């Protein structure tokens, strides 16, 4: 891959050319929008990988780069809370997206769910991911930290594994101890969103009680909000997202726009890209 090959499929975008070069252009060619900033460490890792894949896919999509410091309005339109954030736009609509600097294998998986390399492209099939339980990950990371106590990335990985194992307090303690350069890492932002959702349920009514309140009064937005969080954290993500969408549709400004904030936090915590993409599109249809 040469620099000129990559440049063919990569371009900068701002408020002036966004309508024509992203929304209108996506009617014929999908556009992958990369929200980044010069000071963002993870962006420096993700950006070159996206440019490499844009070249490998040989025109199956184009990569639009948005500097959020220069285009805050665009970032706000897409509900960008952390960077890097990447959104796939097709037929003028948000198709899917993710936050954080994913490994190259996961980037390929994301792209190949929606795209196929154009003729002459060389994108490879993703290798199958190894399955590891949260408990195994905790043990592995603790051993690695004992061998390399100054390696900060291991502390973030441990915090994520602790959260997956249901040890929220321990995960929060590790998150609080992270060095400043990891505070804006996409994975740290995701973990913070998970912890925020878990904290919202402190002293909250039971699932059954919340369901009864919503059945008795469909406009009990507080009950609906807490019900959405409970469902989300109790592995019924779609049902939880439906509660937030109901608030967004009928009471968008309730509690200072809490429904939109909940949806964005939920998107940041979920691994199901298809589910996230579907509900992100529904959210966008209500907002724009």
> Annotated catalytic, 40?
yes
Alpha helices by DSSP H, the chain = 3-8, 18, 41-56, 72-77, 104-114, 134-147, 152-164, 168-176, 186-200, 207-216, 221-233, 237-250, 258-269, 273-287
Catalytic residue among 32, 40, 80, 283: 40
> Annotated catalytic, 225?
no
Torsion (CA) 203, 276, 99, 145 in degrees, nearest 10 = 60
Q: How many CB atoms lie within 10 A of CB 284?
A: 15
Three-state DSSP at 205 gives: coil
**Closest to 237 (Cα-Cα) out of 265, 206, 199:** 265
Structure tokens at 14: 């701002």
What does the buried/exposed string (b/e) look like for 180-201 if buried means 16 or more CB atoms within 10 Å of the residue's CB? eebebbbbbbbbbbbbebbebe
Residues written for the chain: 288
Nearest-angstrom CA–CA distance, 144 and 31:
40
Nearest-angstrom CA–CA distance, 269 and 287:
21
Catalytic residue among 33, 43, 64, 156: 43
CB of 66 within 8 A of CB of 210? no
Structure tokens at 71: 């285009």
Residue 27 per-residue DSSP state: G
**Closest to 237 (Cα-Cα) out of 187, 206, 273:** 273
Question: What are the catalytic residues?
Answer: 40, 43
């Amino acid at each position: 891959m040469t620099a000129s090959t990559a440049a063919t499929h990569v371009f900068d975008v701002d408020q002036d050319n966004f309508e024509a070069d992203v929304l209108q252009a996506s009617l014929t060619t999908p556009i992958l929008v990369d929200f980044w900033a010069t000071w963002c460490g993870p962006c420096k890792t993700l950006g070159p990988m996206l440019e490499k894949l844009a070249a490998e896919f040989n025109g199956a999509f184009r990569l639009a780069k948005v500097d959020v410091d220069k285009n805050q309005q665009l970032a706000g339109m897409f509900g960008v809370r952390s960077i890097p954030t990447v959104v796939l736009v097709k037929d003028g609509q948000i198709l899917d997206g993710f936050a954080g600097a994913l490994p190259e294998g996961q980037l390929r998986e994301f792209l190949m769910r929606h795209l196929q390399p154009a003729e002459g492209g060389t994108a490879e099939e993703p290798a199958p991911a190894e399955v590891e339980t949260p408990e195994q990950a905790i043990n592995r990371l603790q051993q690695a930290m004992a061998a390399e106590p100054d390696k900060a990335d291991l502390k973030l990985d441990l915090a994520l594994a602790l959260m997956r194992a249901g040890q929220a307090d321990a995960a929060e303690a590790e998150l609080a101890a992270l060095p400043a350069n990891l505070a804006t890492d996409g994975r740290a932002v995701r973990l913070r969103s998970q912890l925020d959702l878990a904290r919202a349920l402190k002293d909250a009514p039971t699932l059954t009680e919340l369901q009864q309140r919503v059945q008795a009064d469909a406009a009990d937005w507080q009950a609906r909000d807490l019900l959405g969080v409970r469902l989300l954290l109790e592995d019924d993500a779609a049902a939880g997202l439906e509660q937030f969408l109901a608030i967004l549709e009928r009471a968008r400004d309730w509690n200072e726009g809490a429904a939109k904030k909940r949806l964005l936090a939920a998107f940041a915590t979920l691994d199901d890209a298809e589910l996230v993409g579907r509900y992100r599109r529904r959210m966008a249809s209500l907002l724009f």
